[in-house]
């Protein structure tokens, strides 16, 4: 599997090594200027990334650490419609427990869509406008779903699809069922998600893919022509994408 001219592919030994390098890239993005907001993701792939990032930030000299935290601004990709930020299954709670609280960040600096908004479609438009007012994403962190989604952009998804309220596929609900007692039917059917339009507008993109289960979809992303059938394949049209993949995700073994 060879990367396209626009795509840098880095193979790591295991998920821990991929997480460490992803965390290093995120910290560099928050330490350099001029700064644009980070785009952040959730999910099991991201748990070791945030653990590594917290460790790296705490290891910084005090002045540098304070500067990173003082200037922090990030926008998450998505959250489930109808889940309160206090619900441990929400992505707001995920970010609070893995980033906001360990770093002592001001919670307003880690932004997510309002999952309890009475009009999710209007909230999606508001969230996209808020991101635009802050200059758009500098470095966007992404994971890759088994069906090729990035964010909650389920297939089929056009490259210009905007931030919106989306219906989650049965595959995605199965993939995310662990947080809901293993029951896919308990996973919310809708989410607010940044679209491919906002993702592809990021200055740089960092895609982290680990584990043997992701090998088939990663192979498709690296080899197939971009199409709505595989939303992640639109990343091949972006001028600055880095894929961090462990050996299992690249070889299927």
Q: Evaluate the omega torsion of the peptide bond into residue 34 and state whether it is cis, within 30 degrees of 0.
A: yes
Catalytic residue among 78, 79, 123, 198: 78
Query: What is the model's pLDDT at position 31?
Result: 86
CATH number at 59 reads: 3.40.50.1360
Catalytic residue among 14, 87, 114, 147: 147
Task: Provide the token pair at 59.
Answer: 């290891």
Q: What is the number of domains present in the chain? A: 1
Q: Is residue 2 part of a domain?
A: no
> What is the C-alpha separation between 108 and 202, in angstroms, rounded?
21
Q: Is residue 38 part of a domain?
A: yes
- Give pTM, 2 decimals: 0.96
Q: Is residue 230 part of a domain?
A: yes
Q: Is residue 170 part of a domain?
A: yes
> What is the C-alpha separation between 108 and 84, in angstroms, rounded?
16
Q: Does the active-site annotation cover 238?
A: no
Query: What is the model's pLDDT at position 4?
Result: 53
How would you write the pLDDT of the chain (253 residues) with one tens digit per residue? 444 557 999 999 999 999 999 999 999 999 876 689 999 999 999 999 999 999 999 999 999 999 999 999 999 999 999 999 999 999 999 999 999 999 999 999 999 999 999 999 999 999 999 999 999 999 999 999 999 999 999 999 999 999 999 999 999 999 999 999 999 999 999 999 999 999 999 999 999 999 999 999 999 999 999 999 999 999 999 999 999 999 999 999 8
Q: Is residue 1 part of a domain?
A: no
157-185 residues labelled b (16+ CB within 10 A) or e (exposed) = bebebebbbbebbebbbebbeebeeeeee
Catalytic residue among 123, 149, 238, 246: 149
Q: Is residue 65 part of a domain?
A: yes
Q: Does the active-site annotation cover 189?
A: no
Q: Where in the sequence is the domain holding 26, given as residue range(s)? A: 7-251
Q: Does the active-site annotation cover 176?
A: no
Q: Does the active-site annotation cover 149?
A: yes
Catalytic residue among 76, 79, 123, 154: 154
């Amino acid at each position: 599997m060879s990367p396209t001219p626009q795509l840098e592919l880095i193979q790591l030994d295991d998920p821990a090594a991929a997480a460490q390098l992803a965390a290093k890239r995120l910290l560099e993005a928050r330490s350099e200027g001029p700064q644009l907001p980070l785009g952040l993701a959730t999910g099991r792939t991201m748990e070791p990334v945030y653990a590594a990032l917290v460790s790296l930030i705490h290891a910084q000299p005090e002045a540098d650490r304070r500067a990173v935290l003082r200037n922090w601004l990030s926008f998450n990709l998505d959250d489930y419609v109808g889940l309160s930020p206090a619900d441990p299954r929400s992505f707001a709670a995920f970010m609070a427990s893995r980033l906001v609280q360990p770093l002592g960040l001001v919670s307003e600096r880690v932004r997510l869509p309002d999952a309890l908004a009475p009009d999710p479609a209007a909230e999606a438009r508001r969230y996209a406008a808020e991101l635009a007012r802050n200059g758009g994403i500098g470095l966007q962190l992404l994971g890759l779903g088994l069906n090729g989604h990035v964010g909650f952009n389920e297939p089929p998804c056009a490259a210009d699809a905007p931030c919106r309220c989306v219906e989650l596929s049965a595959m995605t609900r199965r993939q995310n069922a662990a947080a809901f007692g293993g029951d896919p039917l308990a996973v919310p059917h809708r989410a607010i998600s940044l679209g491919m339009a906002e993702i592809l507008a990021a200055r740089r993109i960092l895609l982290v893919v680990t584990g043997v289960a992701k090998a088939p979809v990663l192979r498709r992303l690296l080899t197939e022509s971009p199409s709505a059938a595989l939303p992640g394949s639109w990343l091949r049209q972006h001028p600055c994408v880095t894929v961090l993949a462990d050996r299992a995700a690249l070889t299927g073994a």
